[in-house]
Chain A
Amino acid sequence: MSVEQEIRRFLVDDILFGDGEKLQVDISFQEHGIIDSLGFVELITFVEKKFGIEIKDDELIPENFDSLQKINRFVESKLNRRKASPSGEKSTS
Chain B
Amino acid sequence: MDFHKDILRIDCKSEVERICSFIQQQVRAMRRDGIVIGLSGGVDSAVSAAICVRALGKDKVFGLILPEKESDPVSAEYATKQAKELDIETETIDITPTLEAFGTYQKRDKAIREVFPEYDDGYKSKITLPADLLSRDAYNFFTLKIDDGKGNIKSARLGKKTLNGIVAATDSKLRTRMMHLYYYAEMKNYLVCGTTNKTEAVQGFFVRYGDGGVDIEPIAHLYKTQVYQLAEYLGVISEIIERVPSPDTFSFQVSDEEFYFRIPYATLDLLLYAWEYNIPVERVCETMNLTEEQVKRATRDFAAKYNATKHLRQLPPTLE
Contact = CB atoms under 8 A, between A and B. Distances in A.
Contacts of B163: 38, 41
Given A37-B308, A57-B130, A62 B160 contact: no
A14 B141 CA distance: 18
Interface in B119-159: 130, 137-143, 157-159
A3 to B, nearest CB: 20
Contacts, number: 50
B141 A40 contact: yes
A37 B130 contact: no
Interface string A60-92: 111101000000000000000000000000000
Contact of A60 (B138, B160, B300): B138
A58 B138 contact: yes
A65 B303 CA distance: 17
A29 B303 CA distance: 12
B307 interface: yes
B30 interface: no
Given A30-B300, A57-B130, A37 B159 contact: no
Contacts of A44: 141, 157
Nearest to A40: B139
26 contacts: A30-B304, A31-B300, A33-B303, A36-B304, A36-B307, A36-B308, A37-B139, A37-B140, A38-B163, A38-B308, A40-B139, A40-B141, A41-B141, A41-B142, A41-B159, A41-B163, A42-B159, A42-B160, A44-B141, A45-B159, A60-B130, A60-B141, A61-B137, A61-B138, A61-B139, A62-B137
Interface of B: 130, 137-143, 157-160, 163-164, 300, 303-304, 307-308
Interface of A: 30-31, 33, 36-38, 40-42, 44-45, 57-58, 60-63, 65
